[in-house]
Chains A and B, each alone.
Chain A
Amino acid sequence: MVATFWAFVQKEFFHILRDRRTLFVMLGMPFALVLLFGYAVTTDFKHASVAVYDQSGDMWSQRLIHQMQAGGYFSVVASVSRKEEIDRLFRQGKIKVAVVIPSHFGESLMGCEPVQLQLLSDGSEPNIALTLVSYMNDISTRFVNEALGSSAQWLISLQPRMVYNPALRSVYMFVPGVIAVVLMLISAMLTSLSIAREKERGTLNLLLISPLPPLLIIVGKVLPYVLLSFFNALVIIGMGIEVFGMRMWGSWPFLLLSCLLFILTALSLGVFISTRVRTQQTALFASLLGLMLPTVLLSGYIFPIESMPTPLQVISNVTPAKWFIILLKGIMLKGGGLDALWVPVAVLSGMTVFFILLSWKSFKLHVE
């Protein structure tokens, strides 16, 4: 039976490898999506508007502000004397960055005491914010170098802080979102298409009248897609961390198990669809409308759930991707474990069991 099973899996891999175009899309899509979302906002810009809150007001602070503007990256549009004004300017969208220079800036530097510059950036555009922070870092380092020599570099440190989106919301939103879309596409849509193809071509009939148990047929068909999906999930998470500096606070085994759970949910949906349709065409439309649209629109991936009308908020609860995104964010961002995240885990597990049972009931040993 084991040999038969591997024969089946091997055959399935042949199908996948022979269909070069689909394979290319499957493997290329995660990269394309991540890069698309990650770099959708331009990072090449000049003259970002800056507000300066100079609590020191001495010669050294003036020189720093001057040097900031000299590079052409920043232009100071406001000097403020109260912290509240910074918030107002951010809210009005007049500034991208605010620099807070502590009091006794020059004195401290001369006395070789460490100084902390506070850098506030608009986190709702995280890529811009990150770039500006690194520019500012360069400028302040050079400033101390020129003023006191390279040995004094350690004296000045930047304390960057995101306003609005202290968690760098975007990267934490789009990485789970892209994973959800890709896994839905591969696990659910391709699986349902692949089973529907066997129905259409009549090969499923030959499998049915062979000694293969139905469970083996299904598991054999979905296993290659599990592996592909899992590989893609790893690629996306890896890119999120390496390219976009996403932090991973939680436990890796829990994260990977969560991805596996979502893959199973998607597969059970794909198998369920394929038991109900006769042709690839119907399978395609069923998975596009029934799975892809909710995943993109109702999961909170592109449109925040909180801002949806109440009926849609209710419907979003039956979208597996919503729970997957909650789960992934909880693990990566907050370091949450099962104790904190048992709700999404339970919902996804429940959905999976439900659809497996439903498919099991619909899978027939005879045709009509």
Chain B
Amino acid sequence: MSIQVHGLVKRYGPLTAVAGVSFEVAAGEIFGLTGPDGAGKSSLFRMLTTLMRPDEGGGKVVGFDMLDEFLEIRRRIGYMPDVFSLYEDLTVRENLNFFARVFGVRIEDNYHLIREVYEPLKPFEGRRAGHLSGGMKQKLALSCALIHQPQALFLDEPTTGVDAVSRKEFWDILYRIRARGVAILVATPYMDEAARCDRLALMQQGRLLTQGTPQALLESYPHHLYAIEVAQPWRWLELLRSHPKVHRAVLAGEVIHVSSLEPLDLTYMRQWLVDSGVTAANFYPVQPDIEDLFIALMDQKAHPTGL
């Protein structure tokens, strides 16, 4: 196991940011972490990168003890924090060069590690990092995190605010890094990215609600899920929520996803929709995706959006 931690706790005064987190990540595995803002993901990343000491718990990262051998760990991991943390007044090349030399490696020796990430940046080597677009900043940050051949990579929301195309490219690159045996821990607010991880954990209020392969997680979906295809779906949400058997009704792209605690009778529901004035609607059962699972697992009362 490349990352193996148990019972991690971090408190800030009266607030508990991380409340006992345990998990493992193998070498060559992408472990995804998703959850609402304020769930404690960034605090967890800081503990795993040994930037911050846990109040309780511990474990091993790339074979070294988090508490006693943190200097060894620091040499062997790469970290992309949740905010862009490179020198904006230095050029692309100068940033990469600096981080390479900080870790005592030469860009030429390790260029193969970053080739696919860095190649698109080549034409802009002389440009200052502060003047790069979101997607390019993220590629540069990843290059700098990879240049010293880390055994584990910690990516804290690397694709937030990045367009769909750049995100897709980013993930293609992550798969190639995984193939070299690097353990990758990645936090993401994008559920389509979460579904691309080898294993996934949902974090909320400092705890991991569940973890497993995306497939296994989807099989554990606790409710029954249906879709309603209808024009202007948002108009019917309140109506659906008023039905006693409907547990939750939310927008899901062009359709409405309705979940219920027990199976619904399709004929009855279709009739009910017509009776309620929802005409030309199509009602059918669907397989849940990660977003549906996420929503189902989030404790309604605890959810900070106050739904």
Query: Is chain B in direct contact with chain A in the complex (CB below 8 A)?
Result: yes
Most interface-central of B89, B90, B144 (chain A CB within 10 A): B89
A213-B99 Cα distance, complex, nearest whole Å: 14
Instruction: Mark B175-195 against chain A: 1 for CB-CB distance below 8 A, else 0.
Output: 000000000000000000000
The residues in B between 58 and 105 inclusive whose CB is less than 8 angstroms from any CB of A are 70-71, 74-75, 77, 79, 81, 83-90, 94, 97-99, 101-104
Q: What 0/1 pattern do residues 96 to 120 of A give for CB contact below 8 A with B? A: 0000000000000000000000000
A366 / chain B contacts, CB cutoff of 8 Å: 50-53
Confirm or deny: B223 has a beta carbon within 8 angstroms of a beta carbon on chain A: no
> Given known contacts A3-B101, A209-B77, is B85 in contact with A201 (CB within 8 Å)?
yes
CB nearest neighbor in B for A216: B102
Are the C-beta atoms of A201 and B94 separated by less than 8 Å?
no
Do the beta carbons of A205 and B51 come within 8 Å of each other?
yes
- Given A202-B83, A209-B51, A209-B79, does the pair A14, B102 have CB atoms closer than 8 Å? no
Q: Which chain A residues (193-231) contact chain B, with CB distance < 8 Å?
A: 201-203, 205-212
Asked whether A63 is an interface residue with its Cβ less than 8 Å from the other chain, the reply is no
Q: Decide: B77 and A207 in contact? CB cutoff 8 A.
A: no
- Please give the distance in Å from B150's CB to the nearest CB on chain A: 11
- Complex CA distance for A192 and B46, rounded to whole angstroms: 25
- Cβ A15 vs Cβ B102 within 8 A: no
Bound-state Cα–Cα, A16 to B128, Å: 14
Minimum C-beta distance from A311 to chain B (A)? 39
> In this complex, which of A1, A10, A14 has the most chain B Cβ atoms within 10 angstroms of its Cβ?
A14
What are the residues of chain A within 8 A of B144 when measuring CB–CB? 206
* Chain A residues with CB below 8 A from B4, complex form: none
Which residue of A1, A8, A211 has the most chain B CB atoms within 10 A of its CB atom?
A211
Cα A14 to Cα B74 with chains together (Å): 26
Instruction: Flag whether A234 is at the interface (Cβ < 8 A).
Output: no
> Which residues of B sit under 8 angstroms from A202, Cβ to Cβ?
81, 83-85
B102 near A212 (CB under 8 angstroms)?
yes
Nearest-neighbor residue (CB-CB) of B71 within chain A? A211
A1: chain B residues within 8 A (beta carbon): 104
* Other-chain residue from B71, B79, B90 in contact with A14 (beta carbon distance below 8 A): B90
B101 near A7 with CB under 8 A, answer: yes
Residues of B within 8 A of A212 (CB): 102
Contact A367 B52 (CB under 8 A): yes
CB <8 Å contact, B81 and A206: yes
Tell whether, in the assembled complex, residue B94 and residue A11 are in contact, meaning their CB atoms are under 8 Å apart: yes
Contacts of A165 in B (CB 8 A): none
Distance, CA A194 to CA B52, complexed state (A): 23
Residues in A whose Cβ lies below 8 Å from that of B103? 210-211
B2 within 8 A of A: no
How long is the Cα–Cα vector from A238 to B245 in the complex, in angstroms? 89
Taking a contact as CB atoms closer than 8 A, the residue among B46, B84, B85, B90 that contacts A11 in the complex is B90
A7 touching B98, Cβ below 8 Å: yes
Q: Mark B261-286, 1 if CB is under 8 A from A, else 0.
A: 00000000000000000000000000
Are B51 and A4 in contact, with the CB atoms below 8 A?
no
Residues in A with CB closer than 8 Å to B53 are: 366
B151 near A: Cβ within 8 Å? no
Q: How far is the CA of A202 from the CA of B49 in the complex (A)?
A: 14
**B104 nearest CB neighbor, chain A only:** A4
| Cβ A19 vs Cβ B89 within 8 A | yes
| CB within 8 Å for A209 and B85 given contacts A3-B104, A4-B101, A8-B102 | no
User: At the interface, yes or no: A368 with Cβ under 8 Å from chain B?
Assistant: yes
* Contact across chains for B102 and A201 when beta carbons are under 8 A apart: no
Q: Check A201–B74 contact: CB distance below 8 A.
A: no
Least CB separation from B98: chain A residue: A11
Interface: A18 (CB within 8 A): yes
User: Please, how many angstroms separate the alpha-carbon atoms of A203 and B101 in the complex?
Assistant: 15
CB-CB < 8 A to B97: which residues of A? 7
State whether B87 touches A203 (Cβ < 8 A): yes
- A367→B85 CA distance, assembly (Å): 16
The residue that B88 contacts in the complex, of A4, A8, A201, A207, with Cβ under 8 A, is A201
Given known contacts A4-B104, A14-B94, A208 and B89 CB-to-CB distance under 8 angstroms: no
B-chain residues with CB within 8 Å of residue A7 when the two chains form the complex: 97-98, 101-102
For B74, give its contact among A3, A19, A210, A368 (CB under 8 Å).
Answer: A210
Offer 24 A-B interface pairs, CB within 8 angstroms, sorted by A: A1-B104, A3-B101, A4-B101, A4-B102, A7-B102, A11-B98, A14-B87, A14-B89, A14-B94, A15-B90, A201-B87, A202-B81, A202-B83, A203-B85, A205-B51, A206-B79, A206-B81, A206-B85, A206-B86, A209-B74, A209-B79, A211-B74, A211-B104, A367-B52
Residues of A within 8 A of B (CB): 1, 3-4, 7-8, 10-11, 14-15, 18-19, 201-203, 205-212, 365-368
Residues of B within 8 A of A (CB): 46, 49-53, 70-71, 74-75, 77, 79, 81, 83-90, 94, 97-99, 101-104, 128, 144
